Structure 1
Amino acid sequence: MNKIFYGLSEKYKPLKWNEVIGQSDIIFILKKTIQENCLSQILFFFGPEGVGKNTCARILSNELNSSSELEDFSLNTFEIHEFFNNSSEYIYKIVNQSRFYPKIGKYNVLIINNIHTFSQYIFNYFLKLIEEKHPHILFIFCSSEEKKIPKLILSRSQVYEFKSISTKEIFLHLKMIAKKENIEVENEALFILSKHVKGSISKAIHLFDRLILYKEKRISKEFIIKKLGIINIKYYFEIVDYLIDKKIHKILILLDQILQEKIDFYDLIIGLTKHFRNLFLSKNYETISILKFKKEIIFSYIAQSKKVSYFSLINAFSICNRFSNEYKKLNKNNRLTIEIYLIQLAYLFYKNSSSLEEKKKKNEEFYDYNNHEKIKFLQKNWIKFVQKLSNKINPIYLYFLENEIQFEIEKNKIYFIIPYKLENYGFSLIQTRFIKYLKEKFKNLHIEFEVVKKNSNIIEQYNLLYKKNKLIETLIERLNLKISSSNIQEDKNSYN
């Protein structure tokens, strides 16, 4: 070995504020706090792993002791890591060193990383140290889990919340490193790596460092996917297509192929859940903008989402959520479990598909009717619908609803023909609910509905005719009575 090799993490470690990636808000606040002389003696840096908490703590330590970023005051910085949690002697040694006043600079900065992993005994020790009030010691606690930190520490701290680094910022930083190191890498490969690390810049650099050790001439998308064990998005599209086509055997064969690529089961089910979520978003033009993919992939999501109902997607979420919770309890790659859940998904899609086919068949049957049959069908369904409301409607009004409503069909349009006397708010509600009932019964029935009132003159003529008929009936009734009485008289005479 001719010379010491320095990895990318060490080589590109930020030493100045302008080298820190993705934490401009935190840096701005820290600088302003220092300028206005209102920096607390106890700082708490909270945020996901690998986003720059420890880096900012070291740069802050250097800046507090120097007027120039070029000077190195690393001797004033004391770090305690979580792997010394059980080594009380080491922690005491570091703390005792920090008690001495610095030979150069103003402060000794004690950085405690992953404080949430330390025992209660160590917590109490740090609290005691804080209460001693050493004016030359600045405490910076770093953690990814704020909830696990004792309130006594939080209540005395200035809390700074670090955010995850955006995929774009990670991508641009890796691209800069690749250019400086003369590494040939596809943009899509860098994008996949940037997305894979979920906002952790340190993890991104560490993985990139590991990947270039393979000495590939050019780092491709396929190489990144294979080495990181990332599931190709095409598999999720294939799984859902097989679910739609009711080909469970194809899904199980594909699962076998995926698992041969040493894919983690949990990553597979989480990826499938996200795929269902993306399909859900693709079903509405207002939510499509939330998807962060290339145009071709978004178009694929839109196309596939048209084949899947909201009902299927919501239930698929539920099944995937149950699986992920069960997987955490199992804590191992259980192939049988994932196969069972995939079969449950297949059954869900089969059941929903059968229901849709039945509705489609009903629609086709309706279109096959002639107009006379359609009117009879509508009349029959109207009476059935109204009778369901019989306990809420006046019997006389119910009689009119059953007998006075007529239907006509012309050019794919259904007309409700109602007597003008029936028109009121109550009828409007009933008629609206009936139209909704028909539309639900025939999901894909593209027919318009219109309400037509019978002309009042026609009604009056009808009423007049009815009155005339009533008079005739009365005359006939009287005539019958007269005829009947004369017959009785004749019978009596014959007996005599």
Structure 2
Amino acid sequence: MAYLVFARKWRPKDFEEVLGQDHVTITFKNAISLKKIAHAYLFAGPRGVGKTTVARIFAKALNCEKGPTEKPCNQCISCQQINQGINIDVLEIDGASNRGIDDIRTLRENIKFLPIYGRYKIYIIDEVHQITQDAFNALLKTLEEPPPHAIFIFATTQPHKVPATILSRCQRFDFRRIPTSLIVQKLKEIAQEEKISIEEKALFSIARFAEGSLRDAEVLLDQLSCATNGDIKMEDVVSLLGILEQDLLIEIVEKIKKKEISSLLLLLDEIVSEGKDLGIFLNSLIERFRSILLYKVMKEETANILDLSKEELTELSQEAEGFSKEELFYILQILIHTQEIAKRTISLRLSLEMALIKISQREELSSLEEIMRRIEDLKNILPEEKKDKIILEKNTVVENNSIVEKKEEIENTKENNEEISLEEIKKDWGNFVEEVKKFKMHLGIYLSEAKLIGLEKNILTVGFTKKISKESLEKIPIRQALEKKLKEIIKRDIRLNFILIKEEPNLTENSLEEQNNPLLTKFLEKFGGTIMKGEEIDLS
């Protein structure tokens, strides 16, 4: 008999053997016992969590000679053929290779024929999201009103790509990632039955690497059993998967704790020399410090989130002792930032070296509450006349929910609230315009044409006759720069408000001469006339 890989050999044969999907299996068992069988189902979830397996078990439960039953016998011809994938009434279709409208038309033609052996004709379409839009449209009517003997089961890892018109015609079941503890338990059973010797640490490493996929974990166990002749050590898992040894991670964390820069860089060089993937190294380091941070916050309850063994939890508690929460926030921020930079740079090693140096050169960080308490203590100690200026030798500030160290002076300056008049501003306005012209000539020209309208509550209203001048100056960055420059000149905080005003009529030279002509003035006084523009005279 041909060799069967573990993923196929240990595939669940009934609902009871399915791991981590109780919300799905219980529903199906109840549906069978209550005889409430729908005509279309959609199974959504990540790879290797049991979507196709549950579809097969459901098909066996419906077409079993002793069924419909919650527990198929796996002995009758129908069950055996479904297990082998050769049952003519249960058709497994690959959505990636049968995605066109012609394939769906063929399916529609064949679906009207009654099943040959079983009670139902069941279509299991895997990766259904890869079917074309036209093919989905051709399937709609059949899916909405299929023959009473037909059942559709769709499986997909990307349900968001399935049209809403298809989703609304199906009962949807979301499959979850399988917990690490359940995967470890299953791998132990397989190892025992297959007479494989494997270390506890190796089991947990395989289960974590599988990221909730039991099939992936079984494939890795199968591969390792061949590579090691049935005697699997942690070193073998590290070698095959390219992950970092736990001891090496613990050593790196310890050197970061002690701020040993040289040793850290030498360790990184050793990792590179051994050909390990630096991307995996960075991810492992982030995960490790995440675990330490969670332990710092949750203590023993961390084991429930991270699926840790007692030995690993003890190691984590020892690592957490030398770090404050503020330090862990700081370290994680740098590592995650390095991960983002790595996507845009060629040399990941350089980015990692910079990150490790920066982490190792960190100084002791204080929490925000501790800083505020120290400031209050200093205020109480200092004389009254010195309380308006407090200088800390080392202080920290909060930036993006993390603590970043800075050496700066924190001053409590008294705001100068003395009022200033519009006339005083007008006196300095010319200097202000000249200063603006030095860095932006066109802005200075716009301001030179402006008219100061009024000042109210430190808001200076400035009028412009041209729309372009107003719109250019009222842009937020420009207006803020102008307010800053104005403050430097008049030593006051003034906000600028720009408005449009009507252009005042200009008196021409001719009109001024006419008004100043003494002969014309006497003539107007004697006869009571007025000066009128040429276009206003009506000669009719």
What TM bracket, shorter-length normalisation?
0.5 to 0.7
Partner of 2:25: 27
Letter in 2 for 1:50: G
Code of the residue aligned with 1:136 in structure 2: it is: H
Assess if the C-alpha contact under 8 Å between 1:84 and 1:90 holds in 2. Answer: no
* TM-score, scaled relative to structure 1: 0.66
Which consecutive unaligned segments of at least 5 residues does structure 2 have? 79-86, 391-411, 416-540
Partner of 1:385: 387
What is the match of residue 334 of structure 2? 319
Could you tell me which residue of structure 2 aligns to residue 493 of structure 1?
A: none
Shift in Å at residue 206 of structure 1?
A: 1.4
Q: Which residue of structure 1 aligns with residue 9 of structure 2?
A: 11
Cα distance 1:377–1:195, how it changes in 2: closer, same or farther (>3 A)? closer
Q: Which amino acid aligns with 1:384?
A: K
Structure 1 residues 159-187: Cα deviation after superposition (integer angstroms, max 9, x where no partner): 11212222222222222222222222223
The CA RMSD over aligned residues, in Å, is: 3.4
Q: How far has the Cα of 1:353 moved from its partner?
A: 4.2
- Equivalent of residue 60 in structure 1, options 58, 61, 68: 58
Please state whether the residue corresponding to 1:109 is helix, strand or coil: strand
Deviations 1:343-363 (A, max 9, x none): 13431441434999xx9xxx9
Change (3 A) 1:217 1:134: closer
Q: Indicate which of 126, 144, 147 corresponds to 1:113.
A: 126
2:237 — aligned with what? 224
Distance 1:262 1:34 in 2: 54
Residue among 293, 300, 313 paired with 2:308 = 293
Name the structure 2 match of 1:487.
none
Q: Could you tell me whether the CA contact under 8 Å between 1:323 and 1:338 is conserved in 2?
A: no
Cα offset, 1:130, TM superposition: 1.6
**Aligned mates of 1:55, 1:64 — CA distance in 2:** 14
Q: What is the CA distance between 1:44 and its match in structure 2? A: 0.9
Q: Which digits, 9 at most, give the CA deviation of each residue in 1:27-81, with x for residues without a partner?
A: 1111112222333211111122111110000111121223342334332111122
CA distance in 1: counterparts of 2:323 and 2:224, whole angstroms: 39
Q: Which position in structure 1 is the counterpart of 2:319? A: 304
1:318-352 deviation line (CA, Å, top 9, x unaligned): 3333343454567xxx5x22431441343144143
* Aligned residue in 1 for 2:261: 248
What is the deviation of 1:218? Answer: 1.6
1:39–1:383: structure 2 CA closer, same or farther, 3 Å change rule?
A: farther
Change (3 A) 1:355 1:103: closer
Q: Within 2, Cα distance between the matches of 1:75 and 1:329?
A: 52
CA distance in 1, matches of 2:190, 2:116: 37
Change (3 A) 1:286 1:214: closer
Whether contact under 8 Å (1:244, 1:307) holds in the other structure is yes
Structure with greater contact order relative to length (CA < 8 Å, sep ≥ 6): 1
Residue 390 (structure 1) shift: 9.3
- 8 Å CA contact retained: 1:78, 1:98: no
Deviation at 1:93, TM superposition (A): 4.8
Find 1:239's aligned residue among 252, 262, 274: 252
The one-character-per-residue Cα deviations of 1:365-400 (angstroms, maximum 9, x if unpaired) are xxxxxxxxxx999643665336777969xxxxxxxx
Report 1:358-373 matches (<5 A).
Answer: none
The answer to which structure has the higher helix fraction is 1
Q: Distance in 2 between matches of 1:161 and 1:134?
A: 26
CA contact (8 A) 1:65 1:105 kept: yes
CA gap 1:203/1:342 in 2 versus in 1, 3 angstroms: same
Letter in 1 for 2:357: A
Report the identity percentage: 28
Show the counterpart of 2:350. 339
Q: How does 1:59-208 map to 2 (within 5 A)?
A: 59-66=57-64, 67-68=66-67, 69-70=72-73, 71-73=76-78, 74-85=87-98, 93=106, 96-131=109-144, 133-208=146-221
Question: 1:75 is paired with a residue of what secondary structure?
Answer: coil
Equivalent residue number for residue 538 of structure 2:
none
TM-score, normalised to structure 2, is 0.61
